[in-house]
Amino acid sequence: MKYWQLLLIFAAGGLGAVCRYAVSGWVQRFSETFPIGTLAVNVAGCFLFGTVVVLAGERGLLPPQARLPALTGFLGAFTTFSTYGYETQQLLSDAEWGRAALYLVANNGGGVFAVLLGMACGRLI
């Protein structure tokens, strides 16, 4: 791997982290009792990942040099799976069984669905 690739991943990751913070915080205003901000970022990140994979791989609209910064850098920092794991643990620790189950199903099911939807959208472009 070349140094310029690492620099691009670094820059894209910084941008992805800032976007994660902004989007998650904005969405979280709508709920005080459910970690909807993390859920929204995870599902949106899955959708974007699916879209970029198709646009890059199947459509050739994204050059190979841009795939790594986009997928590993930006989307790797934008999605918050470790936060999702921690928040699920917190719900379980608080004996919020129903909310924990909903959160698990919504993140995992929503994430897989969003990747498929993103891939379909990428194929329409």
Q: What is the pLDDT of residues 24-72, one digit of tens each?
A: 999 999 999 999 999 999 999 999 999 998 998 888 888 878 888 999 9
3-class SS letters over the chain: CCHHHHHHHHHHHHHHHHHHHHHHHHHHCCCCCCCHHHHHHHHHHHHHHHHHHHHHHHCCCCCHHHHHHHHHHHHHHHCCHHHHHHHHHHHHHCCCHHHHHHHHHHHHHHHHHHHHHHHHHHHHC
CA atoms of 39 and 84, how far apart (whole Å) = 8
pLDDT of residue 21: 97
Higher pLDDT, 1 or 42: 42
CB 68 within 8 A of CB 52: no
